[in-house]
């Protein structure tokens, strides 16, 4: 059930009414409703995997209590390791098992040993990459004394299965999410407007920009040999824009929906196109994933390698970024994508700029300085190059893309520069400018105050955005890029 579907509108409206009428003053009713609707949401999408989700929730709930009650470090560690291994095990089995089998078979074939290994027909549970990370995060936070294990099963089950985030994140942290479930949420006009506004902004990015670009870019990737080098390069930039509009649009909708239920969830994007180096870019792009890996992979590795100086940091960041890549799916293209991103950090580390926080200065018009615009564009170019790996079905297709780009046709005009694409690029340009001037806000059209007078301009903006969504948006599109991960 997509946020952009009428089915979801009906589903959410029913919950919204019940939640704020019957659950107004009762934590139990509110959390009970959230759990029932979350399981319903998951069950509608994939009922066969609902038992897995419930069993995993029960096991990790029990593990949390065991870790918390452990009197010595040793048993604390054992229960935590069980949790981490179980979480990784579920992820590896469902997401990577066939990939490992195929890779082993290929490896043995290349060294002349013929194998007769078959892959299995494994159904990947929806959102498995997201809910296993939540489960692992929970046992680690309890182990590190950052939170007490929750004694309320419903609270924990809502944390794991919360419907706005179960399919594609953001990946919430238990110590930020669970405490919100412990007191009744009170509806306020402010958070209602704020949530609604963020949903409209997300809808605009997703339905108007991402979904209109999607068929154009798909067409290029499917028939690469028919297009000039310049068209392929142009498609890489368009896909970067599509990814941002799709995933940040989805995230805005998930955050907005949660706000309407009085719950604050993790942020996922912080204007990544304004980053002036790749390190900053990854601190602004898919924040809930990169933050998770920073806390549970990069930092522990960095601590372990701390006596190796810069080399230790480089090693930690490369392992971390390869995992960021591999998280996206069982394909070597993602691993190489991660490796490429990790290598881009090396000059920053060697220059000693990892610790430096860049503060942007602006010109009289409030725009960034020319040199910073060049840096921002440079970062987008580096990311777009990575798309060659990220989007390709295999390394062979990436290579085909590179060959397609590296010839004289790169000096021609892109073949897909149609009126529609030009129009979409203009819309994107307006979006970037709006984001730049409002970059201190959580999202670009967040109201600063909620008095009637200050809300009126926002209502007008909403009308315009919704007009474009309805009349110009690709409403029939039915997927989000990040659902597949």
For residue 348, how many other CB atoms are within 10 A of its CB?
16
Question: What residues have CB less than 8 Å from 358, skipping those under 6 apart?
Answer: 276, 277, 280
Q: Given the complex with other proteins, which of 303 and 430 has the nearer CB atom? A: 303
Least spacing, CB of residue 145 vs other proteins, in Å = 5
Rounded Cα–Cα distance for residues 283 and 429 (Å):
23
Among 7, 81, 304, 369, binds other proteins (CB under 8 A): 304
Among 46, 218, 295, 400, binds other proteins (CB under 8 A): 295
Q: Given the complex with other proteins, which of 124 and 275 has the nearer CB atom? A: 275
Active site residue 81: no
- Decide if residue 396 touches other proteins (CB under 8 A): no
**Total residues in contact with other proteins, by rule CB under 8 A:** 20
Q: Given the complex with other proteins, which of 82 and 154 has the nearer CB atom? A: 82
Question: Which of the stretches 157-165, 214-222, 302-310, 402-410 binds other proteins when contact is defined by CB under 8 A?
Answer: 302-310
Q: Draw the binding track, 59-88, toward other proteins (x: CB under 8 A; -: no contact).
A: --------------x---x-----------
Instruction: Evaluate the CA torsion angle 171, 176, 179, 181 in order and state its sign.
Output: negative
Among 355, 411, 440, 451, binds other proteins (CB under 8 A): 355
Rounded Cα–Cα distance for residues 256 and 3 (Å):
11
- Decide if residue 369 touches other proteins (CB under 8 A): no
Instruction: Evaluate the CA torsion angle 379, 443, 437, 204 in order and state its sign.
Output: positive
3-state DSSP assignment of residue 368: strand
DSSP assignments along 302-355, one per residue: HHHTGGGTHHHHHHHHHHHHHHHHHHT-SSHHHHHHHHHHHHHTHHHHHTT-SS
Among 78, 105, 354, 410, binds other proteins (CB under 8 A): 354
Q: Draw the binding track, 125-144, toward other proteins (x: CB under 8 A; -: no contact).
A: ------------------xx
Q: Given the complex with other proteins, which of 10 and 303 has the nearer CB atom? A: 303
Task: Given the residues 74, 114, 302, 328, select the one marked as catalytic.
Answer: 328
Rounded Cα–Cα distance for residues 45 and 137 (Å):
25
Asked if 67 contacts 146 with a C-beta cutoff of 8 angstroms, the reply is: no
Q: Draw the binding track, 145-174, toward other proteins (x: CB under 8 A; -: no contact).
A: xx----------------------------
3-state DSSP assignment of residue 98: helix
Rounded Cα–Cα distance for residues 5 and 9 (Å):
7
Contact residues for other proteins, defined by CB under 8 A: 73, 77, 143-146, 294-295, 298-300, 302-304, 306-307, 313, 354-355, 357
Q: Active-site residue numbers?
A: 328
């Amino acid at each position: 059930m997509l946020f952009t579907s009428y089915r979801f509108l009906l589903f959410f409206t029913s919950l919204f009414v019940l939640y704020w009428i019957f659950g107004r003053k009762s934590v139990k009713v509110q959390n009970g409703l959230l759990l029932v609707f979350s399981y319903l949401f998951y069950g509608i999408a994939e009922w066969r995997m609902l038992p897995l989700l419930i069993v995993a929730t029960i096991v990790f709930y029990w593990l949390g209590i065991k870790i918390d009650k452990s009197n010595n470090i040793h048993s604390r560690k054992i229960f935590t390791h069980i949790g981490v291994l179980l979480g990784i095990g579920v992820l590896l089995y469902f997401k990577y098992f066939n990939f490992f089998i195929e890779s082993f078979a290929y490896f043995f074939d290349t060294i002349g040993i013929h194998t007769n290994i078959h892959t299995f027909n494994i159904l990947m549970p929806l959102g498995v990459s997201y809910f296993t990370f939540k489960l692992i995060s929970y046992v680690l936070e309890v182990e590190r004394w950052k939170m007490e294990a929750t004694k309320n099963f419903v609270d924990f089950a809502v944390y794991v299965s919360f419907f706005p985030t179960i399919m594609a994140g953001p990946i919430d942290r238990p110590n930020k999410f669970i405490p919100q479930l412990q007191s009744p949420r009170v509806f306020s006009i402010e958070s209602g407007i704020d949530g609604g506004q963020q949903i409209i902004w997300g809808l605009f990015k997703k339905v108007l920009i991402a979904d209109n670009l999607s068929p154009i870019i798909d067409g290029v990737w499917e028939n690469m040999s028919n297009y000039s080098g310049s068209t392929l390069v142009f498609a890489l930039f368009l896909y970067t824009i599509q990814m941002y509009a799709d995933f940040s649009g989805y995230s805005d909708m998930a955050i907005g929906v949660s706000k309407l239920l009085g719950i604050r969830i993790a942020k996922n994007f912080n204007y990544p196109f304004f980053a002036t180096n790749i390190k900053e870019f990854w601190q602004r792009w898919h924040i809930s994933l990169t933050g998770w890996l920073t806390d549970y992979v990069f930092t522990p590795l960095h601590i372990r390698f701390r006596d190796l100086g810069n080399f230790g940091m480089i090693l930690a960041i490369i392992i971390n970024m390869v995992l960021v890549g591999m998280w996206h799916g069982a394909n070597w293209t993602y691993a190489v994508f991660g490796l490429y991103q990790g290598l881009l950090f090396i000059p920053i580390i060697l220059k000693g700029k990892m610790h430096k926080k860049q503060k942007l200065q602006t010109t009289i018009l409030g725009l960034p300085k020319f040199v910073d615009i060049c840096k921002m564009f440079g970062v987008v170019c580096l990311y777009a190059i990575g798309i060659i790996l990220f989007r390709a079905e295999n390394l062979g297709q990436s290579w085909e893309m590179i060959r397609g780009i590296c010839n004289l046709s790169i000096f021609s005009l892109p073949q897909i520069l149609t009126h529609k694409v030009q129009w979409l690029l203009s819309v994107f340009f307006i979006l970037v400018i709006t984001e730049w001037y409002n970059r201190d806000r959580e999202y670009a059209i967040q109201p600063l105050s909620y008095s009637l007078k200050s809300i009126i301009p926002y209502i007008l903006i909403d009308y315009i955005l919704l007009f474009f969504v309805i009349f110009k948006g690709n409403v029939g599109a039915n997927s989000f890029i990040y659902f597949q991960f």
